[in-house]
Structure 1
């Protein structure tokens, strides 16, 4: 049974405009979701469905929560495949710890395949020095997943992944999140200056460059499918608002509502046709991850494709709803205007459009010579 009760969702939707207007973190939402047990480990399919529902009520809250749910999902995927290295993440999540992502870096278009952050061996662990951006949950996280490159690894340069605690020295959170949309995520920049991750919290040593380690697969599977679900939820709400607007607007020329206008009907039908394809796509892949289905070398093509289709479809659906709503939707107080701003963030999440097409081309044609 979903922890997202109608009363909880109603309160979350009511707070969303204020968070956006004030550029404020969704602290009350977080407290209520924690109390409801929403942060605990669950199947990827159940989590994806709930994230889509939550996003339809408060996109920024859903996107921020996503980062915690991804790490919990990574630990669960590894555990179900016989890898207990992140079982402590599951225990910490059950105990109320809040996980966040500290992977994105300015100027790093290789994402997980390389890092501009320096990792150095120190007594008791590794010290990380670098800048991380888009650190959602910045005001509240207690565990931050980070990675960096150790230049002098045993066999050459390698990537070191681990988790910082909130009280670690050398961690500075900037107050620099003032964006067009998704404002309540408080995805501030994080600066690391010799911030130490203890040895027992180092999660992986990986080679520089693409690889199919189960840890990487688990990140891709959870991140891409849950991100896609958030944007599908935005589209769900936009279509709902578009239908409401069509029934509410009346033509002075005909005396009929816009719901009787053939062009408006076509726009909403077009949006619905695109949106209807997302649930089978996202949910089938989530169920396949839960069911340990082996898609082999096709996994990354399928996962990046699902995220791409969801974010692009969501932008199209919101655009159609804005056209149906007319000038009223352009007001800053309009929920549709907020959805229009929020949905644009989808183009910035990995994997971006260029990377997706490169992944699919490599799957079809092999690597470039």
Structure 2
């Protein structure tokens, strides 16, 4: 499907987004997971949007997924961010399949059948991210792995059925190896997978990205999808995770910026100046600020579309891929925070109330600076792309 024939409103109609937006404030206030949003998204096939039609999905590409995630984030950023983590795995499955690797076909089939895939990569203090892990991956006699460790920021914590994760195998003869696999939340996981009820954050509260303890969590042999050397690695699974993760993260925060801009425009049009008798939309300073917000926002959707199209189209940017992808995510997060900051200034003191939408967007947008690639990592990656590696 191409963007010229794609109408995101057919999948996410305005009335659905209005319901999501109304519920978003409740989930933020009550620190609860948006189960109703998930049910509606499942019903329209949203969770299988990146799955080929032949396998029961919508057959969309990363370009369309980016547009949909931007649109969803204008209504419920936490819902969009949580769903992102499921879409990352279905997106990785597509990236690999498009390159002739069918290892994650079970993810595509599972998503079409209603499985919820969560992303179990983040670990406290592990700035190696995809290139290393503090989680122990121990081989089993049956060819699978038992994982022991702690994963943080496990979005979709109350509802996931399959957890895609990584760990380090230091015992195999050909090791050490980074092991990518999936563990189930079925009865066999009782006591081996423990979800803490510890999600009480400043923003993105509806994601319920709780901590996950792994106590020998079992991934059978047919759910071990990749064993690769630790450290920087051009393996397709690393590229797949990085590309889909960065594009979809950038999409969520770009969607937040769009909503903040829309709210600011509506607010200044309705506010009247006692001094001039005109709406604030006629104030030159306000107009300059709105224009500045729009100039910043307008740059991101085309960048996201271009990179997503290159991923879908198997374009080979070689080593530049990582700087391009980390760069677009970084720009989206920084832009979104700046736009929300200005939206609050233009909207006035009412936006400072905890229950206001702009207040919630302000708290939600802050999370963008913490996701990989963080500002330091993004700058290091781009510096290496342009200047070469640091001297030993």
- The one of 104, 113, 123 aligned to 2:131: 113
- The one of 169, 185, 188 aligned to 1:150: 169
TM-score by length of 1: 0.99
- The one of 5, 11, 14 aligned to 1:6: 14
CA distance in 2 between partners of 1:39 and 1:309 (Å): 27
1:1-369 matched pairs, under 5 angstroms: 1-2=7-8, 3-40=11-48, 41=50, 42-124=60-142, 125-167=144-186, 168-169=189-190, 170-369=192-391
CA drift of 1:155 comes to 2.6
- CA offset digits 1:173-220 (Å, max 9, x no partner): 000000000000010000001111101100111111111111110101
CA drift of 1:10 comes to 1.6
CA drift of 1:294 comes to 1.0
Runs of 4+ in 1 over 3 A off after TM superposition: none
TM-score by length of 2: 0.93
CA drift of 1:318 comes to 0.4
Unpaired runs of at least 5, structure 1? none
CA drift of 1:255 comes to 1.5
- CA offset digits 1:302-346 (Å, max 9, x no partner): 100000000100001000100001101000111000000000000
CA distance in 1 between partners of 2:287 and 2:385 (Å): 39
CA distance in 2 between partners of 1:123 and 1:153 (Å): 12
CA distance in 1 between partners of 2:141 and 2:204 (Å): 40
Secondary structure, counterpart of 2:106 in structure 1:
helix
Secondary structure, counterpart of 1:296 in structure 2:
coil
CA distance in 2 between partners of 1:16 and 1:156 (Å): 46
CA drift of 1:358 comes to 0.7
CA distance in 2 between partners of 1:47 and 1:116 (Å): 32
Give the superposed CA RMSD.
0.9
CA distance in 1 between partners of 2:175 and 2:251 (Å): 39
